[in-house]
Amino acid sequence: MTDRYQVVGNPIAQSKSPWIHAAFAAQTGEAIHYDRHRPEPEGFAAHAAVFFEQGRGMNVTAPYKLDAYAFAHQLTERARLAGAVNTLKKLPDGSLLGDNTDGYGLVSDITDNLGWPVAGQSLLILGAGGAVRGVLGPLLEAAPASLTIANRTLSKAEDLAQLFAHKGRIDCLPFEALNCPYDLVINATSAGLNGEMPALPDGFIGEQTRVYDMTYGAEPTPFLRWAEGQGARIRADGLGMLVGQAAEAFFVWRGVRPDVRPVLSALRAELKAV
């Protein structure tokens, strides 16, 4: 019997998750069926309850990650720290485990796929929303020399620094205070999600700064184009994070870790062909 999996979000038609997990299944020989669903705005819990009568696992994207967090019976440590769930797994006793694989996907893309160092580097994260909360734990565990969160509203960055204080020191700045180059800059602003650019000053990106945008597209994102104009020669978007977090979810569900690189290369080619 083929096990059933699903990605849930709104909107969801654009999701690449069914394509990615079909590629993982073909690569590993795992027999799964994976589709997508868009619940009504308040309908996540009702849909999930019906799905998990037979379904084995679910990926969850915006705006339902908090709903999935509340729906899970158990949470992994990384889900508790993230305050959100993007992966649900049905356990043998019928209960649901909530996990968050976003941070793993980001760090594995940066260190394994791109070969960029994190340990010992000065790291700047732009933004202080839910996307940042989901990746802070794994980034701190990668042992950067320093980690700074810059945000338009400073208090939101300070709240995150306090929440993760047990994991390591986090410095906080408003955007306008950024004035010296960092080794690695990660854009996680909500503006990036909408294909826009946050209002940023000059001076914190240099020629040697590695620049990463958590969003992606067939063409360079507005942030990556701006960073190029600031002199950044080494840039990457978040497509590898998408595939990496999916691979970690696949491992959580199936106990098999797929090879990300050929799937990422094929997906990149598919995006450019559209």
The active-site residue, picked from 65, 89, 167, 272, is 65
Asked if residue 153 belongs to a known ligand binding site, the reply is: yes
Asked if residue 5 belongs to a known ligand binding site, the reply is: no
**Core vs surface per residue 48-67: b (16+ CB within 10 A) or e:** beebbeebbbbbbbeebbeb
Strand order in 184-187's β-sheet?
Answer: 171-174, 146-151, 122-126, 184-187, 210-213, 234-236
Asked if residue 131 belongs to a known ligand binding site, the reply is: yes
Asked if residue 156 belongs to a known ligand binding site, the reply is: yes
Yes or no: say if 179 and 204 are a contact pair by the CB < 8 Å rule: yes
Asked if residue 155 belongs to a known ligand binding site, the reply is: yes
Residue 9's Cα: distance from chain center in Å? 15
Active-site residue flag, 272:
no
The length of the chain is 274
Asked if residue 151 belongs to a known ligand binding site, the reply is: yes
Asked if residue 148 belongs to a known ligand binding site, the reply is: no
Q: Is 135 exposed, middle or buried (0-12, 13-18, 19+ CB in 10 A)?
A: buried
3-8 and 146-151 beta bridge pairing? unpaired
Alpha-carbon gap, residue 249 to 229, rounded angstroms: 36
Asked if residue 130 belongs to a known ligand binding site, the reply is: yes
Residue 242's SS3 state is: helix
For 255, which DSSP code? Answer: S
Asked if residue 77 belongs to a known ligand binding site, the reply is: yes
Asked if residue 127 belongs to a known ligand binding site, the reply is: yes
Asked if residue 128 belongs to a known ligand binding site, the reply is: yes
Asked if residue 61 belongs to a known ligand binding site, the reply is: yes
Asked if residue 238 belongs to a known ligand binding site, the reply is: yes
Yes or no: say if 7 and 36 are a contact pair by the CB < 8 Å rule: yes
Asked if residue 108 belongs to a known ligand binding site, the reply is: no
Residue with tokens 């083929």: 2
Residue numbering of the annotated binding site: 15-17, 61, 77, 86, 102, 127-131, 151-156, 214, 216, 238, 245
Residue numbering of the annotated binding site for shikimate: 15-17, 61, 86, 102, 216, 245
Q: Which positions are catalytic?
A: 65
Residue numbering of the annotated binding site for NADP(+): 77, 127-131, 151-156, 214, 238
